[in-house]
Amino acid sequence: MLPLTVANNHSAAIPMCGGSNINDWNPNDNTIIDIAASKSCVRIAPDEEQTWHDDTLLPRVRRMRNFTILLDATLFLLSSGGMGADGCGPQGRKIDESCATDPITTPLIYYPTNCTLTRAGLPNSTINCLYHSTALLLADGAVFVAGPNPHADYAPPTRRTLPSTAPDVLPLLLL
């Protein structure tokens, strides 16, 4: 959910970027890992209407992404995969096996006021975060990243490290 502010009359808005198209799934096929993610970004304001609206397009397909709200009310988009699914199960795979691949290490900043994305000033991550990764905003404005995937069948290799990054954002003046 986007930040509730005086400027937006404390109205809830929920963005969703990436994912996959349900029409691409075939329950009789065992190739979930080959399904491409989506580039779409949509938004819904459930207090106003229950309709999803197109927002913008991601520069590259993504799934399993993490949004972290930054101090200036922009969103830091981190982690994701380009192929596969967020989870696994009935198609010949154990529930705890990974069904995603093609890690995307390019973070983005999402500007909800004008529905734009940029990666200006953000370095690529050196860590492939897919499953079980998270990002948390620290008090100094840095983003703490934890993950990635602990699954034994995961490729590319898992690294157990905890990086952080500090996007160049303007802090909010708290009154």
Confidence class for position 174, pLDDT limits 50, 70, 90:
very low
Cα distance between the two ends of the chain = 22
Is 99 domain-assigned?
A: yes
Omega before residue 15 within 30° of 0, cis: no
Using the 8-state DSSP alphabet, how is residue 114 labeled? Answer: T
CA dist., res. 73 & res. 139, Å (int): 14
The residue range of the domain holding 57 is 14-122
Asked if residue 147 is part of any domain, the answer here is no
Dihedral sign for Cα 118, 133, 161, 102, please: negative
What would the mean pLDDT of 87-93 be, rounded to a whole number?
57
How many structural domains comprise the chain?
1
**Does any domain span residue 19?**
yes
pLDDT score, position 12: 92
Kindly report, residue by residue over 114-158, the tens digit of the pLDDT: 989 998 888 887 777 776 677 788 888 888 777 665 555 555 555
pLDDT of residue 14: 92
